[in-house]
Structure 1
Amino acid sequence: MRPSVPARIGSWIVALLVGLVYGVAGTVAHAYAIGWFPLGLILAVVGSAALLLAVRLLTSDRWATLAVAIGLMTATLVFSGAGPGGSVVVPQAPDGEFNPGIVWTILVPIISAVVIAWPDTFVRADAPSERST
């Protein structure tokens, strides 16, 4: 049984809000590093990829996954710019140094596109069986 249209729209709105929260958390935390090891970037990418994959696998709905991706990318875009006082959350690294902000900004859309475009591999219960009984 398919959910009703209002239920689906509600789930898309919730997915968008969850994507916004993860996007803000990832954008703020991606610059954290222990020495040379970019721990914040790795945790942000793994967390965002896990969220996208979980929504895709649990709902079997590309639109809900797209809503999460839009939330992630919107939060990254909004918090990547300079604030009203001139402060920045995603600072630019000096020339020649590793810039986790660029990696974070590029990986979010790439991971989102891969998860959304991945083909369906589930067999639906209402689909006729290929075996004859």
Structure 2
Amino acid sequence: MSGSGAWPARPPKAVRIAAYVGLAALGVAVGAAGSLVQAAWFPLGLLLALLGAAALFYGGLRATGTQLGVVAPAAGWVASVLLLSAGRPEGDGLFTGGLGEIVFLFGGAALAVMCATMTRLPQPGGSSGRLGK
């Protein structure tokens, strides 16, 4: 970065779209892995699965600087978790309906909402957003 303190130019649109698609793919992977881990190693697996989801959502926010950076991995996470929880016509299903699964579903959704509503960090050289300064 130069000594002027200016932020680098915004990346091209194709790069931003690729980043969001990559984040969505990571959301699918984290959702699938979390679905398996939370049931296998309860209760520590549940904590690990939720921490992984939170890290992905928060990392997407910080990497892109936009709420869409949270929405993209959250959409992949939700799609993955819902597909795995639907079960099959034969009666096979990944989730058995216990308390851990409910905490995983609602906890992951709550983490995504919390990360999406976080405020962005102020940019250097910009105003603080407060009146009178």
Q: Is TM-score (shorter-chain normalized) higher than 0.5? A: yes
Tell me the SS of whatever aligns to 1:30. Answer: helix
> Any conservation in 1 of the 2:57–2:69 contact (CA below 8 Å)?
no
- Report the Cα offset of residue 128 of structure 1: 6.7
How many pairs are equivalent? 121
- Report the Cα offset of residue 10 of structure 1: 1.0
Match of 1:29 in 2: 37
Q: Percentage identity across aligned positions?
A: 26
Match of 1:10 in 2: 18
> Any conservation in 2 of the 1:32–1:39 contact (CA below 8 Å)?
no
Match of 1:111 in 2: 111
Match of 1:73 in 2: 78
Q: What's the TM-score, normalizing by structure 2? A: 0.82
- Report the Cα offset of residue 59 of structure 1: 2.3
- Spell out, residue by residue over 1:65-84, the C-alpha distance to the aligned partner (whole angstroms, 9 max, x if none): 21001111111111011124
Q: What's the TM-score, normalizing by structure 1? A: 0.82
Match of 1:96 in 2: none
- Equivalent AA in structure 2 for residue 112 of structure 1: A
Match of 1:57 in 2: 62
Structure 1 stretches of 4+ moved >6 Å = none
Unaligned runs of 5+ in 2: 1-8, 129-133
> Any conservation in 2 of the 1:52–1:65 contact (CA below 8 Å)?
yes
Q: Could you tell me how far apart the structure 1 residues matched to 2:16 and 2:90 are?
A: 40
> Any conservation in 1 of the 2:84–2:95 contact (CA below 8 Å)?
yes
Q: Could you tell me how far apart the structure 2 residues matched to 1:69 and 1:52 are?
A: 7
Q: Could you tell me how far apart the structure 1 residues matched to 2:104 and 2:127 are?
A: 43
| Cα RMSD (Å) | 2.0
Match of 2:6 in 1: none
Q: Could you tell me how far apart the structure 2 residues matched to 1:122 and 1:50 are?
A: 21
Tell me the SS of whatever aligns to 1:31. Answer: helix
Q: Could you tell me how far apart the structure 2 residues matched to 1:91 and 1:128 are?
A: 52
Q: Could you tell me how far apart the structure 2 residues matched to 1:32 and 1:108 are?
A: 17
